[in-house]
Structure 1
């Protein structure tokens, strides 16, 4: 896969798997009876909830989709929510929970744990004592990583929302076996060792050893990022030139696998099912993909807290693979495939359903951006959001502020008000290198490069109130190409392409 200026591929930390061809609504079948009364609800109105949302991290599109949905749900409820970035660091996340509990600011936790064992006591014992409700999602806690069904629920919490459990991974492994009648040499790529999804995946993969002709010849753990998966896949193929199959445990990683495999005849089985993955299945680059629904899972976790304070029964385990609105619900644990399409009930998906599998990443975000030159307002309160995979046109008359806004986005100019973010990083401005380091390179109509001449070039005057500096150099296309060649993608380390 080629790196583009406004596209950064990131790892997708796992959430609930709905094994269907297209997104599902939030009409979920309850998978168990209502939870026992854990504590008296601290409030009776969801609008009075003060939620601490503990994300495993914030650095990839999957997690960002979950966080975005959490904010939406909180707004719908009228509740307060604060987001805590675990940074894929189990100890840091544990410390965040302790601080949040000690502060007394929160009456509810929504938790996507990095290490379910480490946070077991604080969530099931200490939080209830402080009258804090706990909803867990994505990754089971307290040693329940390889449990299935209601056994993924841990007493002391309100509910566990998931679907990416051991039985789902067992079915995924079985799909590889069914697709290779003569056996296969297999490589496995997953996330961190302590991650519950990695534990379940590797346990399910032990089934290969019981099948004639099947052998797991390589097994790698990563930090869920695309470049690490790219390196892992390359290492596997170099050590095993006769490798038949690579199973990649998240679509963000699978992008790196696809790039590493290239034209080699290696089957790639993906777990993620985002828009990119489904397109790759159709194109034949992926053998199959299992769909996951970050938004639906997050919504269910927060609505579970709301229902509890309303006095409603909340299922101990909410199994997203049993959503009654998934196309193909009659056979929920199947994967999309080039030879065996999943959907047995194809129908158009509306915007709500499509959004449930929206893992596109916010590449550029401007909120109320403002820029003033010598008392003259060039940009006033500009709002802009550009997600990966999108193409936008900024249209306006001369002097409308188009170039100024581009200068703010590229980091060349510092905003006098509001904020500008590139892939979640808030820009300080005044140095284009800052944007480049976080994955964005601006290509100007006038070929210039703030980092200095590369191939020489003619010096021409640059004027206009939106430049933010005196007349300076405009250099030739050779300079521009040199600037782009020097700009490196922040994740892969590869040079950006014009």
Structure 2
């Protein structure tokens, strides 16, 4: 009997030691994406992120890639970049392929918010993939503000500096600088691009509130400086008494400046933009442009990675993070885009060339 008890005791100790030596079972974490069914993942299991971008040669988009990769490297996470080359069909196909590509999470910078909506806000969460949306809101929400820019089915939205209120603030600067009657021309991207929709909503409101402003021309472009230069040249010929040009991004200014120089009108026609690049800072200091806006695609991508890491660790994540997740600059109020002029340009640090 003693030998039996001794053997039984030895087996119990051996079992206990084996249990202690065995790897702990992975802990499940539920991620709330605003739908009836949360996404369930293994805690801390974020290892691979698919990053969907619009155009890899665009300087602002390059900031998105750099920001995501640098933030991911801090957590030993791999980021695979899917460049859609401004082809919405390509972007949707890339997402379809990524569903079975073994990715733990997505970061989406959409070309066109409606057409990626089903993949990012429905199919991805069904497949257990949390999605962080940066810069361009999806599912028709680019014309909203604040938390309303977040789409149910996705984890979070990071951006806000390309919302209608942000673009309207740029337009208002033209009236602040020149309160009287004036003629303006505007330069945007493709008609269905989320940023264009936000800009158009802002423009409609701005013109209604400022009847002294006359819209002389609206041009849709492919964001290339070359096309924008051509459009401005055409506008100058048709409207020689133009007072100001307002562009949706720095690339519009890069095309407008040489057109104004060639016509001998630089300094006579004021130029406003969103985008806040390195080029913009130099242009402000030289007087080539009158104002730009704080724009932080690198920070937005970094924040997206951090939000995904938090979600995989079981921590709460806000539905939306405004100002691209960046700190405010002098003169900027919470919830508003930061206007950069010659007065505060030295306090602004651009993230795109």
Instruction: Tell me which interval the TM-score lies in, with the shorter structure as reference length.
Output: 0.7 to 0.9
Kindly provide the CA deviation profile for residues 174-196 of structure 1, in whole angstroms up to 9, marking residues without a partner as x: 22222222121110001111111
2:275 maps to 1:272:
yes
2:112 maps to 1:138:
no
Is this contact kept in 2: 1:321–1:333, CA < 8 A? no
Distance 1:139 1:89 in 2: 15
Within a 5 Å distance, the mapping from 1:234-383 to structure 2 comes to 234-262=233-261, 263-264=264-265, 265-320=268-323, 323-324=326-327, 326-330=329-333, 333-338=337-342, 341-342=343-344, 354=349, 357-360=350-353
Is this contact kept in 1: 2:329–2:338, CA < 8 A? no
Report the Cα offset of residue 168 of structure 1.
0.9
Is this contact kept in 1: 2:191–2:197, CA < 8 A? yes
CA gap 1:59/1:199 in 2 versus in 1, 3 angstroms: same
CA gap 1:325/1:270 in 2 versus in 1, 3 angstroms: closer
Report the Cα offset of residue 306 of structure 1.
0.9
2:113 maps to 1:116:
yes
Unaligned runs of 5+ in 2: 1-31
Match of 1:89 in 2: 87
Distance 2:325 2:127 in 1: 34
Please state whether the residue corresponding to 1:42 is helix, strand or coil: strand
Report the Cα offset of residue 35 of structure 1.
6.1
Distance 1:154 1:169 in 2: 21
Match of 1:56 in 2: 54
Distance 1:120 1:330 in 2: 31
CA gap 1:155/1:330 in 2 versus in 1, 3 angstroms: closer
Distance 1:217 1:183 in 2: 13
Report the Cα offset of residue 326 of structure 1.
3.1
Match of 2:12 in 1: none
Match of 1:213 in 2: 212
2:169 maps to 1:165:
no
Distance 2:187 2:236 in 1: 12
Please state whether the residue corresponding to 1:272 is helix, strand or coil: coil
CA RMSD of aligned residues (A): 2.1
Match of 2:29 in 1: none
2:148 maps to 1:151:
yes
Unaligned runs of 5+ in 1: 1-33, 361-498
- Tell me how many residue pairs correspond in the alignment: 314
Is this contact kept in 1: 2:68–2:304, CA < 8 A? no
Please state whether the residue corresponding to 1:77 is helix, strand or coil: coil
Please state whether the residue corresponding to 1:140 is helix, strand or coil: coil
> Once superposed, which parts of structure 1, at least 4 consecutive aligned residues long, lie more than 6 Å away?
none
Report the Cα offset of residue 215 of structure 1.
0.9
Distance 1:140 1:258 in 2: 30
Report the Cα offset of residue 74 of structure 1.
1.7
Distance 2:144 2:122 in 1: 21
Match of 1:177 in 2: 175
Kindly provide the CA deviation profile for residues 255-280 of structure 1, in whole angstroms up to 9, marking residues without a partner as x: 11111111302110021111221221
